[in-house]
Chain A
Amino acid sequence: MANKKAFGKLKGREAMVLGIIAAMVILFSVLSSTFRTYPTLVSVLDISYYITLMALGVTFPLITGGVDLSIGTGLVSYALIGGFLIVHQGVPVGVGILACIGIGVLVGVFNGVLIAVMDLPPFLATLCTCMITRGLGPALCGGFGVSWPSAISADGAFRNVFKFTSDSGTVIPIGIVFMIVLVGIMSFVLEHTRVGRYTIAIGSNKEATRLAGVNVKFYHMLAYIISGLFAGLAGVAYAATYATIYPGSGAGFELDAIGGAIVGGVSASGGVGSIVGAFLGVFVICLMKVGLPFIGLQANWQQIFTGIVLIAAVLIDVIKKKK
């Protein structure tokens, strides 16, 4: 029943994050007249897609009390390989997309085996796969940057899934609709299916869960496979939103997703968290990424400010719990 209690708390958490988002939007809009325009909204959404997908996935390992650090370099690596297959090997775009997602799942399985079966600490195991994936893409693709087919080219239709440009030139960010659908699905999985319940149970008390007869290894592994699957999807979203995938980039992307999830109330020590919370948390991160430059804050100050806001967001939670 501890879960039910935690769940009740989370509702308040989500409301609070929503409040933070509203406050940020108002602040940025007041401080910058160019921020409160439609194209800026679209670019916040653009940035949110790949981070949201990473966050939806990484929430599962986080709730088991682990973490997946391989998703950032992973998504770049998968997108690099997928793009390489499409551009240089001439495979159809659909196959390239499936390859991108498939490799993500495989790396998820690998992480899962290391952590759930071989009992490696999640931090260490996924830090290592982070390094492996960072090298893997460039190694397989010859170290060359890859541009997936552009929106105007014949093979560029997949880009319209995220950003649809109408004939009159209006850009419609329909990607957000798919994100909301996915949030709904994963929310259901986490809260109403065996997979989700066991994920939370493992994070609350792994030993008790095992004694209750649950195949802990399998469900623990599944958390990392879900994370890998979503890293693969994030790779597709990243490739669809931006021009060129550069080898060697992606380190640090996972922190946007993990940071977003934690701001959204997913506990870094496991057992607690919601998909909706993680989703909202991601928007706090994305708004800062776009809003801070718009109000004229320079690079160094953006990073300082982002750090302070994240501390504040987590601190509010800690203080509330102490009360």
Chain B
Amino acid sequence: MKKKMLAVLLSSAMVLSMAACSGGNQDGGSASSDGGETETSSDDGGSDGGGSYTFEVLVKSFQSTYWQAAVQGIEQACDELGVKANANGPANESDIADQITMINDAIQKKPDGIGLAACDASSVIDSLGKAAEAGIPVVCFDTGVDDAPEGSVYATVATDNASAGAVAAENMFPVIEEKIKAASSSAQVRVGEVNQDATGLNIQQRGLGFIEKMIELCGGADKKVAVVGNEFYVNASKDKGTVDEKEADVIIEVGVPAQTTVDLASTEAQKIMSKKDTIAIFGSNQTTAEGVITANQTLNKLATDPEKGIIGVGFDAGTPQKEAILNDQFIGSVTQSPLMMGYECIQTLNKIANGEDVSDIPMNGYWYNKDNMEDDDIKPNLYD
């Protein structure tokens, strides 16, 4: 009996630890079934900036929509600059070893530069060292490599999550501005934010980016803001001019699910949306945005008019979120732009080849709604 209880306890501990590790990476890139290679070139080679360069580009996985968008951006830049880029990538984002082989092969080809979206930041370090020895400049995109050997990575092109979160606040605020202006400490209004976790750097920055921008905008309307809910976000925004909950005109309530699952994310959203003073809610990644949508299936409170219901804003894409925007449940969402990241990667590589100085390029989040979902620079980013 005791042994068996011990076994169950042990198993629980092991499985829990597995669950804890599995939380992260549900943002952005995902993989598709098989690898492949594409070649992009342009006839007017050499017309822009001197040489007809050849670059090797490695994405995290080849055929998912997210990375196809990146390849599209790479092609655009190649066309504009008259350079050549070979894009390659493993079948799956978790095929780390395959990608290492591909990087090493790329180095052997002695290109004018390498663009890299590393599957695993620590595993590529040796290869980056080899590239540096061979004198091949590397530009990282989508994902940075923090511990890259000196002189190997010339620049990193990645989404600035804090500013991406701020984009959500900037687009939400005008819609709820009248409600905010009418708020007072005796008639408070509540803005919700559901964050997948309080531990992942991307989500932390994005969540705080939204909060800080919302505090700033409310301050502009002469309203005092309190941040309540999850301890991390409350403490991290303490020095941003927040006040006590009782004195506040506007309350930002941050919900974080106990585990990263869609059911708990939707419970957090429902908890906030059930409150009578809630006027808007932001789901800061695909999981939590869908949590808001799931909660709304029973609550039926989301609307695009603040007089009629709660204003919803999401992040990233996926079919449920796109449907929510088309059906007037979300006013819009923020997307990262793999297309622009691919584009800027080639632009940067070209500059390096031309001997110009380059620096890191923080990418914006892009606002999309019903009106611009089909635009050429937005649509490729909105994976299903």
Q: Which of A's residues lie within 8 Å of B, judged by CB?
A: 34, 37, 39-40, 42-43, 46-47, 65, 67, 69, 72, 87, 121, 123, 127, 130, 134, 138-139, 142-145, 147, 150-153, 163, 165, 169, 171, 241-244, 246-249, 251-255, 258, 268-270, 289-290, 292-294, 298-300, 302-303, 306
Report yes or no: A249 in contact with B230, Cβ–Cβ below 8 A.
Answer: no
Structural contact, B264 and A289, CB atoms closer than 8 A: yes
The answer to whether A43 touches B22, judged by C-beta atoms less than 8 angstroms apart, is no
Q: Cβ of A144 and Cβ of B11 under 8 Å apart?
A: no
* Cβ contact of A40, chosen from B8, B274, B300, B323, cutoff 8 A: B274
Query: Within 8 Å of chain A (Cβ to Cβ): is B171?
Result: no
Complex contact A252–B270 (CB within 8 A): no
Instruction: Report chain B residues within 8 Å CB of A67.
Output: 7-8, 11
Pairwise interchain contact A43-B298, C-beta atoms closer than 8 A: yes
**A147 CB contacts on chain B under 8 angstroms:** 318-320, 384
Contact across chains for B30 and A293 when beta carbons are under 8 A apart: no
A302: chain B residues within 8 A (beta carbon): 258
Most buried by A among B8, B25, B63, B323: B8
Contacts of A255 in B (CB 8 A): 12, 15-16
A-B contact pairs, 14 of them (CB 8 A): A37-B274, A43-B270, A67-B8, A142-B30, A143-B93, A147-B384, A150-B320, A163-B297, A242-B290, A243-B294, A255-B15, A268-B5, A290-B267, A298-B231
User: Is there an interface contact between B7 and A123, defined as CB atoms closer than 8 Å?
Assistant: yes
Considering the complex, give the chain B residue whose CB is closest to the CB of A51.
Answer: B263
Asked if residues A251 and B19 are in contact (CB atoms below 8 Å), the reply is: yes
CB of B152 within 8 Å of the partner chain: no
* A303 to B259 Cα, complex, angstroms: 9
Question: Given A34-B275, A143-B32, A243-B293, is A252 in contact with B19 using a C-beta cutoff of 8 Å?
Answer: yes
Contact of B256 among A121, A142, A251, A298 (CB under 8 A): A298
Are B14 and A244 in contact, with the CB atoms below 8 A?
Answer: no
B287 located at the interface, meaning its Cβ lies under 8 Å from any Cβ of chain A in the complex: yes
B26 in the interface, Cβ–Cβ < 8 Å?
Answer: yes
Contact A254 B92 (CB under 8 A): no
Report the bound CA distance from A121 to B7 in whole Å. Answer: 10
**In the complex, B144 has a CB within 8 A of chain A:** no
Partner among B18, B31, B259, B290 whose Cβ is within 8 Å of the Cβ of A143: B31
Closest B residue to A147 by beta carbon equals: B319
Partner of A152, one of B8, B286, B323: B323
Contact B64–A293 (Cβ < 8 Å): no
A270 CA / B8 CA spacing, docked (Å): 12
Contacts of A258 in B (CB 8 A): 8
Set A143, A150, A248, A252: member contacting B323, Cβ < 8 A: A150
5 additional contacts, CB 8 Å, given A127-B11, A244-B318, A251-B18? A248-B22, A254-B15, A255-B16, A268-B4, A294-B271
CB distance from B21 to the nearest CB of A (A): 8
* Shortest Cβ gap from A278 to chain B (Å): 15
* Min CB–CB distance B382 → chain A (angstroms): 13
Most buried by A among B16, B63, B299: B299
Establish whether residues A127 and B14, one from each chain, have CB atoms under 8 Å apart when the complex forms. Answer: yes
Closest to B33 in A: A142
Could you say which of A40, A144, A150 contacts B32, with CB atoms under 8 Å apart?
A: A144
Would you give the shortest CB distance from A298 to chain B, in whole angstroms? Answer: 6
B267 touches A152 (CB 8 A): no
Contacts known (A290-B267, A299-B198); A143 close to B327, Cβ less than 8 A: no
Nearest chain-B residue to A304 (Cβ)? B258
Task: Indicate if the CB atoms of B26 and A145 lie closer than 8 Å.
Answer: yes
- For residue B260, CB closer than 8 A to chain A, the reply is yes
Shortest B298–chain A CB gap in Å is: 4
The answer to whether B297 and A171 have CB atoms under 8 Å apart is yes
C-alpha gap A186/B267 in the complex (Å): 29
CB neighbours (8 Å) of A241 from chain B are 263, 294
Judge whether A152 and B327 touch: CB under 8 Å: yes
Measured between beta carbons, the chain A residues less than 8 angstroms from B192 are none
The minimal Cβ–Cβ distance linking B340 to chain A, given in whole angstroms, is 22
Q: A222 CA to B370 CA in the complex, in Å?
A: 52
B288 to chain A, nearest CB (A): 11
What is the bound-complex CA distance between A34 and B64, given in angstroms?
A: 41
Chain A residue at minimal CB-CB distance from B10: A123
Specify which chain A residues have a CB less than 8 angstroms from the CB of B31 in the assembled complex.
138, 142-144
Inter-subunit contact B271/A142 (CB<8 Å) = no
Are B30 and A40 in touch, CB under 8 angstroms? Answer: no
Measured between beta carbons, the chain B residues less than 8 angstroms from A253 are: 261
